[in-house]
Structure 1
Amino acid sequence: MRSISLSLLLAASLFGATQSDAASRMKLGGLTSQPIGHAVFCEQFKGDCARISGNQEPQRLTQLRWNDLVDVNNIANVGVEPVTDQEFYGVEEHWTYPRSYGDCEDYVLLKRYMLIQRGWSAANLLITVVRQANGDGHAVLTVRTSNGDFVLDNLERDIKRWDKTPYRYVKRTASNHSGRWISIRDSRNQVARY
Structure 2
Amino acid sequence: MRIATSKGQDAMSGLARTVRRVFGAGLPLVSALLLGQAAEAQTFASLPAAPSAIVAGGEARPIAAWSEFCQTYAAECAIDVTEPAVIAITPAVWNTIVSVNRRVNKSLRAVTDLDHWAVPDRWDLAEDGAGDCEDYQLLKRKLLAAAGLPRRAMRMTVVIDEKGEGHAVLTLVTDRGDIILDNKTSTVLPWRQTGYTFIKRESQSSVAWVSLGRAASPVTTANR
Question: Smaller-chain TM-score range?
Answer: 0.7 to 0.9
Cα 1:5/1:77, change in 2 over 3 Å? closer
Structure with the greater alpha carbon radius of gyration: 2
SS in 1 for 2:42: helix
Distance 1:128 1:30 in 2: 15
- In the alignment, structure 1 segments of 5+ residues that lack a partner are none
Contact 1:171 1:182 in 2 (8 A): yes
Query: Does 1:160 pair with 2:189?
Result: yes
Separation (CA, whole Å) in 2 of partners of 1:46 and 1:14: 33
Counterpart position of 1:12: 45
Cα distance in structure 1, aligned partners of 2:84 and 2:212:
18
Q: CA deviation at 1:107?
A: 0.4
TM normalised by structure 2 equals 0.77
The answer to whether the 8 Å contact 1:26/1:185 transfers is: no
**Of residues 151, 156, 177 in structure 2, which corresponds to 1:127?**
156
C-alpha deviation, 1:192, in angstroms: 1.1
Q: Which residue pairs with 1:111 in the alignment?
A: 140
The alpha-carbon deviation at position 93 of structure 1 amounts to 0.5
Q: Is the 8 A contact 2:155 2:171 kept in 1?
A: yes
Matched residue, 1:139:
168
RMSD: 2.0
CA distance in 2, matches of 1:14, 1:158: 11
* CA-to-aligned-CA distance 1:135-155 (integer Å, 9 cap, x gap): 210000000110000000000
Letter in 2 for 1:135: G
1:134 aligned counterpart, secondary structure: coil
Give the structure-1-normalised TM-score.
0.88
Matching of residues 16-35 of structure 1 within 5 Å: 19=50, 21=51, 24-35=52-63
Residue 50 (structure 1) shift: 1.9
Structure-2 change in CA distance of 1:91 and 1:13 (3 Å): closer
The list of structure 1 runs, each at least 4 consecutive aligned residues, that deviate by more than 4 angstroms after superposition, is 3-6
1:192 — aligned with what? 219
Higher relative contact order (CA 8 A, sep 6+): 1
Deviation at 1:186? 3.6
1:100-138 per-residue CA deviation (whole Å, 9 max, x = no partner) reads: 100000001100100000001111110000001222100
Separation in 2 of the partners of 1:111 and 1:139? 13
One-letter amino acid of the counterpart of residue 113, structure 2: D
Secondary structure of the equivalent of 1:191?
Answer: coil
Instruction: Indicate the larger mover: 84-93 or 127-136.
Output: 127-136
Amino acid at match of 1:90: A
**Structure with the higher fraction of residues in strand conformation:** 1
Local SS of the residue matching 1:28: coil
1:22-72 Cα distance to aligned partner (Å, 9 max, x none):
xx1001111111001101101111122223221434111100110111111
Instruction: Tell me: CA distance 1:131–1:14, structure 2 relative to 1, closer, same or farther (3 Å).
Output: closer
Q: Return the alpha-carbon distance in structure 2 between the equivalents of residues 57 and 124 of structure 1.
A: 5
Q: Which of 110, 129, 133 matches 1:82?
A: 110
Structure 1 stretch displaced more, 130-139 or 105-114: 130-139
Deviations 1:79-112 (A, max 9, x none): 1010000001000001001031000000011001
SS of equivalent residue, structure 1 residue 88: helix
Bigger mean CA offset, 42-51 vs 144-153: 42-51
- Consecutive unaligned residues of structure 2, counting only runs of 5 or more, are 1-35
